[in-house]
Structure 1
Amino acid sequence: MRISELMTRDVKTIDADECLRSATERLEASSLGALPVTDHGRLVGLLTDSELSLCSTVHGHDPDITTVREAMSAPLVTCPEDAPLEAGERLMEEHHVSRLVVVDAEHHAVGLLRLDDVASQPLTLLRPGEPLEHLSLYS
């Protein structure tokens, strides 16, 4: 299965210099819980709903003054839309992220792959080329 078959399309981006209030409004209008962040049209980060809450609530940053750039995660972890789903799984595991921005050949955001999307698929216990030692049984 390819990432393009499972990803969520119609992903909206936000500019890094916009304020957190604007980001909150966009996130509330979306069910994805994340916005890819751009700077002059180039992908530079990802802003998640939890990062937004942390920045506004815990750290007390003013959402009308604080920019998306100050709250976003960077560097951004991306995956090509034509990559196999296993590549997306591996990237999530290696980078400890629950969302990947899916990009086209020109590196424009075309979708978002969430861990929930991947988890909804049949479990692959053994990846080609991996030894059996990584499998464990729990009782």
Structure 2
Amino acid sequence: MTNHVRDWMSSPVVVVDPDSSVSHAMTLMRRRNIHSVVVDISEENPSFGIVTTTDIRDKIVAEGRNPAETTVREIMSGPIITGRADWTLAECSRVMQKHKFHHLPIADENGTLIGIISATDIFMAVEEQGWIEEN
């Protein structure tokens, strides 16, 4: 049985430029059947933001904004923290709960993006395997 982030994260991650239009991000999300895209806001050090379907609902649809005329930078959350592939699902869940995240980008020790995990991924792991207690 596997209870580490590396076993349940999605990879590769869909990454967009912060100056991309929200329309572009929406198209990628729909075509790939995903609920978030990571935004690369790195200048010197790896740094990431995120745009989710909830952001689009709340900041585009509810506010009556045109997604073709709005940049990802304008609606993204970030910079955000990244998780580690060697975390247990419980560790990851605690971090996501603390920060009120539903999606968490996963980076290696150099800060390179290697995956993303969602609350749905964690739910599927627990439903499929049952609960695994940490030692």
Is this a same-fold pair by TM over 0.5? yes
Find the partner of 1:9 among 6, 11, 17: 11
Find the partner of 1:79 among 66, 80, 83: 83
- Which deviations, in whole Å up to 9, do the C-alpha atoms of 1:43-97 show, x marking residues without a partner? 3311001211222211122222211011111231310112222211111111111
Q: Which has the higher helix share?
A: 2
Q: Residues of 2 paired with 1:23 and 1:100: CA distance?
A: 17
What SS class does the counterpart of residue 25 from structure 2 fall into?
A: helix
Contact persistence 2:42–2:48 (CA under 8 A): no
Contact persistence 1:36–1:109 (CA under 8 A): no
Give TM-score scaled by structure 2 length: 0.83
Residues 56-95 of structure 1 mapped to structure 2, 5 A cutoff: 56-95=60-99
Percent identity over paired residues: 22
Find the partner of 1:110 among 108, 114, 126: 114
Match of 1:4, as an amino acid?
Answer: R
Alignment of 1:21 onto 2:29 = no
Contact persistence 1:43–1:108 (CA under 8 A): no
Q: How many residues align?
A: 127
Structure 1's 38 and 54: CA in aligned 2 closer, same or farther, altered over 3 A? same
What SS class does the counterpart of residue 35 from structure 1 fall into?
A: strand
Max Rg structure: 1
Give TM-score scaled by structure 1 length: 0.80
Structure 1 gaps, min length 5: 129-139
